[in-house]
Amino acid sequence: MPQTLEDKKRLYRQIFFLLQENPRMTISSIAKKVQAKPASVGNWLNDAFDQGFITIPQIRKKSFQNFPEYMYIAKCEDPLELFLQYTEDHQNILCHARMEGSANIWAISRKKINIGGDILVSGLRSDYHVSLPPNHSWKTAVKIMNERVENFNPDNYLPQNTINTHWDESIVWSKEDEILFRELKHNLRKPLTPIIRKHKISGEKTWNWLERLPECCSIITKYYPEARSAYDPYLYIFETDYEGFIIDLFSELPTSSLFFKVSGKLALYAFLGKKLLGKGNLLISNVNKLYIPLLIRKLQKKRIIQKEEHSIVDYHWRKDV
């Protein structure tokens, strides 16, 4: 293993970017890139995944007409009861979470559902976009973000179309494609031979599917420099006319951030350090340390965002449907 924590961070960051290039890159190929023995790289990779420095590469379908997924973010009277109900729904509910804050339930469904309560967001989701975290500290990130907000000029803003939708398009998708998707959805690095044998899918078909995967699916790998457990997961909903600026702004965070859109609103799912939100101290001795709340307040004052809602994710449940 690397000698120090900083050595480990540098190594795991390097491996993360290699997986960005090729999520199924072999251990031997990674070993050549980092100039280490394959056995050592195998151990490092397992440690990076197990400790939460890097998430195992996953895939999610893009927003094609024949892949509808409906997103619901709402404030319900009994969110725990609803959470338990959705846990038993193996046909429609793909993933759901219990939260605290502006909303207390978050659900993704293959079909429209009646979630009840006060709905903050509902509708077809867009494609996902994942940021590539810069190699700088939280302090540097906050400084850069504040400077960008202070210097923002709406007259110079150009839309970037970072987040795409394909709601009026369909894509060819066979039964074999769906089988491969479900097998590899939560772990794109799984060995292929057992899958091929189990489902009697040809190797040629499988490799062709992998080649066209970026056309059909978003490939999601995330990086957390202090390991995932060091942060709290927050879901933000923004109403903004400057979507590209907000995406670029929060992409300065040193952890991977997930962006998507629902019903014209921009969503950010980010893992934030407690110090950024003033957490951990009931008595705040310096209000300037409320970094993220103050940043959002500045965004609202400058009319970069019209409205913001946020919640912290307590726990979630996912299925392989």
Domain shared by 160 and 246, yes or no: yes
Structure tokens at 194: 């057992």
Domain shared by 46 and 133, yes or no: no
* Residue 208 falls inside a structural domain: no
Domain shared by 142 and 37, yes or no: no
d(CA 227, CA 273): 11
What is the domain count for the chain?
2
Domain shared by 136 and 18, yes or no: no
Domain shared by 150 and 271, yes or no: yes
Per the DSSP assignment, residues forming a β-bridge with 315 are 98
d(CA 247, CA 162): 8
**How high is the pLDDT of residue 284?**
42
d(CA 283, CA 296): 21
Neighbours of 151 (CB within 10 A): 8
* Residue 253 falls inside a structural domain: yes
Domain shared by 254 and 156, yes or no: yes
Domain shared by 9 and 152, yes or no: no
* Residue 150 falls inside a structural domain: yes
Structure tokens at 224: 């957390």
**How high is the pLDDT of residue 276?**
60
* Residue 290 falls inside a structural domain: yes
Domain shared by 50 and 136, yes or no: no
**How high is the pLDDT of residue 3?**
67
**How high is the pLDDT of residue 321?**
63
Domain shared by 159 and 244, yes or no: yes
* Residue 148 falls inside a structural domain: yes
Domain shared by 156 and 294, yes or no: yes
CB 56 within 8 A of CB 185: no
* Residue 249 falls inside a structural domain: yes
Strands 265-273 and 58-61: unpaired
**How high is the pLDDT of residue 173?**
97
Residue count of the chain: 321
**How high is the pLDDT of residue 319?**
81
Domain shared by 147 and 268, yes or no: yes
For residue 15, the domain's CATH number is 1.10.10
Taking Cα atoms as reference points, which of 288, 309, 223 lies closest to residue 20? 223
* Residue 175 falls inside a structural domain: no
- In the DSSP assignment, the letter for residue 111 is S
Structural domain range at position 17 = 5-54
* Residue 238 falls inside a structural domain: yes
Domain shared by 159 and 260, yes or no: yes
List the pLDDT tens digit at each of the 321 positions of the chain.
676 878 888 999 999 999 999 999 999 999 999 999 999 999 999 999 999 999 999 999 999 999 999 999 999 999 999 999 999 998 899 999 999 999 999 999 999 999 989 999 999 999 999 999 999 999 999 999 999 999 999 999 999 889 999 999 999 999 999 999 999 999 999 999 999 999 999 999 999 999 999 999 999 999 999 999 999 999 999 999 999 999 999 999 999 999 999 999 999 999 998 766 555 444 444 444 568 889 999 999 999 999 999 999 999 998 876
